[in-house]
Every structure is written in C-alpha cells, then in structure tokens.
Amino acid sequence: MNQKEIIKTLWNTIYPKSDLTLLNSFLAELESFKKIQQDSQPFWYQDAVVYSIYVDLFNKDFEGLIEKLDYIRSLGVNTLWLLPILDSPMRDAGFDIRNYDKIRHELLGLPENHSKEEQEYLFGKFLNEAHTRGLRVIFDIALNHVSETHPWFQQARSSEDNPYRDYFIWTKDTSLYQDARIIFKGMETSNWEKVGDWYFFHRFFNFQPDLNYRNPHVLLDMLRHFIYWQRLGVDGFRADAIPYIWKEDGTDCENLPQTHLIVKFIRAILDSIRPGTLLLAEACQKPNKVVEYMGDGDECHAAYHFPLMPMFYKAIASEQAEPIIKILDTKITPPIPENAQWFTFLRCHDELSLELVYVSEEDRKYIHDRYCLQPEWDFRQGEGISARLANLFQFDERKIGLAYSMMLTLPGTPVIYYGDEFGKENDQRYYEEMIKLTGKDDTRFLVRGKINWPLREVQLNDPSTFQYRVFHRIQKMLEVRCQTGVFGRGSMEFISIQTGEAGANPALLAYERRIEDQRIIVLQNLSSKPQLAMLDNFAKEGVDLLQDKAVQLNEIVMKPFAYHWIKID
C-alpha cells in the first residue's frame, strides 16, 4: 500500500463510524503543504548523543542557549532535547500545555502577546544556529493531556453542549475506569476531578484533563500541531505519556490496541511530510510492552529503556554484573526492528523511577534502601528517588564515570541530563520555590534548577575541582564514542571473564561490541576492590581507547570501579 492508503486504512480501523469527509479534508490540507526535503540521514537517531535541557533553567532563554551551543557541541553531543517549551502555566514543569503552537514568551524574550511571525523568526534563528553546528533538535509534546487553562478545556467546561465538550472525558458516574491506576500516588487520590455536577478524567495531576481520542477531531488537531513544528525545522518529538491515550472501561487504560493504531497514524502522517522526523516514545512500561511502541518499524522510531536505568544503580550497589545481563536478556528485552533504537539514560528531569511496572518489589526496595539517602528524596511513596546523579553516588567521580561507561557503551542512544556532565547537585532552593508556585510537594523539582554559569565556568577551568574531573571523564568517553559507530549500531555479546582458577568473576561486566571490521571490548569493574581480568582468548594485545595506550589482554589488573574500552584487531 502507498502512504495515502495506509493512512486511510488506519483511519477506518480507528474510527469505523467516522465520515471520510473529515479525513479527506485533512489530507487535502497536507497536499497544500510544501514537502520538506527528505532527511539525507534517515536513521540519524541511531548515532545520536542527546543532551536534555530546560531552556530557561539552562541559560535563561533561546538567546542564552545559542550562547552555549558551542559548549554543548564541545561535550560531544549532536542532539538537543528541549524539555517543555510550549505555552504553559508551568504547574507541571511545562507538561501542562496551554497552547500547542506557541512557545512560552519568556523563552523567546518577547511579550506574552507575541505574534506567530516573531516566534517563527526567533525560534527559526535558534534552529539555524543549532543545525549549523551539527545539532539536531527535538522537543516534548504531551499527547495524553492538556492544561486546564487550554482553550479547548475552557470551552469544554463552559457548557455541556459546547463543541469542545467531547474533546475530554466527562461523567457523573465515577465508577468508570476504576482499573486505571493512580500514577501520581501520594499526590493524587483519584483520576476524577469535579467541575460543577460533572467530573472529568485525568491520569496525572488534577489540573491536567485527559484528551478524548475517541473523538477524531482531537487526533487531527493534534497532528496539525505536530506538522506546524515539523515544517519549521524541528527534527523530532518526544511523545509524552503515550501509553495512556486511549481509554476503555474495564481495562487498566494502558497499552490498548487503539493506542498503537493512533501512533501508527501519527507516524504515517509525519512520514508523509518528512521521513526521518523522529517520534520517540515515553512509555514507562516493561520492555516487552515498550517494544510494541516501535511496532514493525511503523510506530515510534525509538523508545526509552526505562527498566535498564535502575539496573545501572543496582549493579553498582551490589557490585554485580548480573542485573545488567538479566535485563538485557532477550526473554526480558525482546529484539527491536532494525530501523528502531533504544534511548538509554542515567538520570532525567523526573525521579529515578522505581515503578513496579518494570522493577520487582525486591529490586525496588533494594535500590530505594541504598540510594534514597534523605527522606525528602522519596517520591511516590517509595516508587522513586528525587536526586541528581552526583547526589545518588555521593559525589564519587569513579562511580559516576563507571555509570556513564555502561550507558555509553551498551546498545542504544544515550541521553545526558543537563548539568550531570559536571556533577550538578540537587537544587533545594528551586524545589522550595516550585512548591509555592504549584501548591504540590513534587520532589522532582530537586533534580531541576538553574545553572550558575559564572560559578560553573570557574569550576570547569580548575583541574582541582570535582566538576572539572567529572566533565573531562565524560568528555573523553564521548569523544571516543563519536569516533566509531559501533556503540550506536553494532552488535553486542556479553563476555564471561575468568579470574584464574576461580572461574567467572561476577563483579566484571564485559561485552564485545562489533560492527563490520570494528571490534571493541568493554571491560568494567563494578567492585569496590581491585579485580584481575584475563582476556587472552581474544588477542594478545589491544589499545585502550580511553587512555590511548596499548594493553596486554592476558592480565589486566583493574582498580575499583575502573573501566576500559579496548580496541582489538
């Protein structure tokens, strides 16, 4: 089938009772758009290194961000993920969107009533500056919900017969959708919020009404927003809260078949405008469920490997390689389509999540007990930890480097959370400010906060500082990663490292990454004690790429938490 036939087939499956006139009118709109030139590197996301930022917290606004693009590029990054930039009252860090086609005015340095033309000029200037430096740009679009201040919801709540009423889910019977879990446990007590005699449905905060995708107008209006940004030059979108967009009473309202059909429809439309525009799934689910969001290569191009992230912490705390090996076993993490990719991360703008949808109760407790070092770091009653990477590892640069070594060399596209490259710490002042602003004790604000660049620049230029040492560790690893395609696209095979007659050493995490004629062995000591590694089954000698020196493979004495990336012929 051609693209148009695929789109029509999906539409008829999702909305079998809908008048085709609605779809045909939308398709006619698409025909009127000037086609964007196809990306010359359609699989660019497989070789990406992503840097995740809040524009305002990073450096005030887009002009400030432009000033720091050379710094970001020097780190070894080639993709920027802009955390929410769209118009919002900011009660949920911008994930409560008020207008999907408008950037928050303060990020542009414009008055609140700025024009589309002004927005497109200034945002276009930023995109051009980023693209000139070889930086791709993606940003968040929340698909599942909007802010209660969104014009659609303001119209919907104004009267029962308003045309926008059906953009949301209303009832007087709150026994509906009882199997849908409360996601913000400890902060919300119900998925229903009362307005007059009616209740509206929400999966997240009570000021974020869920959209009703049973109404085909919702899907088409959301796509118009995607296309607006796509045509301005944005390289991709992080689809926030994607598993929840379709609801069925009597189910848990997650990962339903219609959800996947809608994702396929979105992908088909984006591909019809510009193939290669990234669609990235934020699906906090078990790996076998997350894989489904990549479909047969016809849904999202990529998805976050949420269950891998907590295993980095368990492996280092337990000094055992087994948590990493187990989570990446194909019985738990199934293979993905050839054109798809995992996105991996150590920390992000949210908590270190320990949701039971992807960790066992035993793992949750083990990690929480060892890393939730202060009571205020607790999030969602033990299902998460709100702390920066440096805080979690108690400012031990060896453990930070080891964690980065694992993330940067295991399969997938790595995501670096702003400030973690120099060990940014929790921001208590920002957390307290946001409690006052939002009225919610959301401890995730601890891991956000502004960067004091004058202070950081002094630290990054002083070899005696913790920040300098962490930055240069990570920068060196990224430099080596960018010189090879093996880590983004190569095959991987775990290696059992023998230690004399004692057998396999459980504290050593080792694997071979291979692509074409490139072979690199990654060797990591998860132990707080020195370990002996013997790799003489591979070759007599290799080159340690991180230290730029030859190494004898028959006997490597590894320091605590050490790591080596060894190129062999």
395 and 519 assigned to the same domain: no
Q: Would you write out the chain's pLDDT as a tens digit for each of its 569 residues?
A: 788 899 999 999 999 998 889 999 999 998 877 667 666 788 999 999 999 999 999 999 999 999 999 999 999 999 999 999 999 999 988 999 999 999 999 999 999 999 999 999 999 999 999 999 999 999 999 999 999 999 999 999 999 999 999 999 999 999 999 999 998 888 899 999 999 999 999 999 999 999 999 999 999 999 999 999 999 999 999 999 999 999 999 999 999 999 999 999 999 999 999 989 999 999 988 889 999 999 999 999 999 999 999 999 999 999 999 999 999 999 999 999 999 999 999 999 999 999 888 899 999 999 999 999 999 999 988 899 999 999 999 999 999 999 999 999 999 999 999 999 999 999 999 999 998 888 888 899 999 999 999 999 999 999 999 999 999 999 999 999 999 889 999 999 999 987 766 678 999 999 999 999 899 999 999 999 999 998 878 888 999 999 999 999 988 999 999 999 999 98
Q: Which listed residue (282, 292, 351, 421) is catalytic?
A: 282
Is residue 388 assigned to a domain? yes
Half-sphere exposure of 560 (CA within 13 A, CB side): 10
* The predicted structure's pLDDT at residue 502: 65
Is residue 189 assigned to a domain? yes
In the numeric block, the tokens 């395609």 are attached to 485
481 and 533 assigned to the same domain: no
Q: Which listed residue (140, 240, 271, 378) is catalytic?
A: 240
Count the domains in the chain.
3
Tokens of 291: 């894989």
Give the C-alpha separation, 253 to 249, whole Å. Answer: 8
pLDDT in tens, 186-223: 889 999 999 999 999 999 999 999 999 999 999 999 99
Q: What is the pTM of this model?
A: 0.95
Is residue 121 assigned to a domain? no
Is the Cβ–Cβ distance between 185 and 381 less than 8 Å?
A: yes
Pairing of strands 79-82, 491-495: unpaired
* The predicted structure's pLDDT at residue 503: 74
Pairing of strands 86-87, 99-103: antiparallel
* The predicted structure's pLDDT at residue 500: 62
Is residue 318 assigned to a domain? yes
Is residue 518 assigned to a domain? yes
393 and 440 assigned to the same domain: yes
461 and 510 assigned to the same domain: no
Is the Cβ–Cβ distance between 244 and 253 less than 8 Å?
A: yes
In the chain, count H helices and then E strands: 20, 24
Is residue 132 assigned to a domain? no
Tokens of 114: 């700025």
Is residue 106 assigned to a domain? no
Is residue 236 assigned to a domain? no
365 and 467 assigned to the same domain: yes
Give the C-alpha separation, 312 to 393, whole Å. Answer: 12
Domain edge (last residue) among 438, 469, 486: 486
Give the three-state DSSP class for 286. coil
DSSP codes of every residue in 68-116: THHHHHHHT--EEEE---EE---TTTT-S-SEEEEE-HHHHT--TT--H
538 and 454 assigned to the same domain: no
Beta-carbon neighbour count of residue 265 at 10 Å?
Answer: 22
Domain edge (last residue) among 170, 187, 210: 210
Going through 119-169 in order, the beta strands assigned E by DSSP cover: 136-142
What single DSSP character describes residue 250? T
Give the C-alpha separation, 413 to 478, whole Å. Answer: 12
426 and 503 assigned to the same domain: no
445 is in which domain, residue-wise? 305-486
CATH number of the domain enclosing 501? 2.60.40.1180
Q: What Rg value do the Cα atoms of the chain yield, rounded?
A: 24
What single DSSP character describes residue 482? H
CATH number of the domain enclosing 176? 3.90.400.10
Domain edge (last residue) among 210, 244, 265: 210
Which residues lie closer than 8 Å to 528 by C-beta, 6 or more apart? 319, 560, 561
Known catalytic residue: 462?
A: no
- Which bin fits 253, alpha (ψ -120 to 50), beta or left (φ > 0)? left
CATH number of the domain enclosing 416? 3.20.20.80
pLDDT in tens, 270-286: 999 998 999 999 998 88
Give the C-alpha separation, 167 to 150, whole Å. Answer: 11
In the numeric block, the tokens 């055992």 are attached to 320
Cα→Cα distances 557→507, 561, 562, Å: 13, 12, 10
Known catalytic residue: 282?
A: yes
* The predicted structure's pLDDT at residue 1: 75
Which residues lie closer than 8 Å to 392 by C-beta, 6 or more apart? 313, 347, 352, 371, 373, 385
Is the Cβ–Cβ distance between 208 and 96 less than 8 Å?
A: yes
345 and 478 assigned to the same domain: yes
362 and 470 assigned to the same domain: yes
* The predicted structure's pLDDT at residue 4: 87
Cα→Cα distances 98→153, 351, 387, Å: 9, 24, 29
433 and 464 assigned to the same domain: yes
Stretch (H or E) spanning 428: helix 428-438
433 and 320 assigned to the same domain: yes
Q: How far is CA 255 from the centre of its chain?
A: 18
Pairing of strands 556-558, 531-533: antiparallel
481 and 494 assigned to the same domain: no
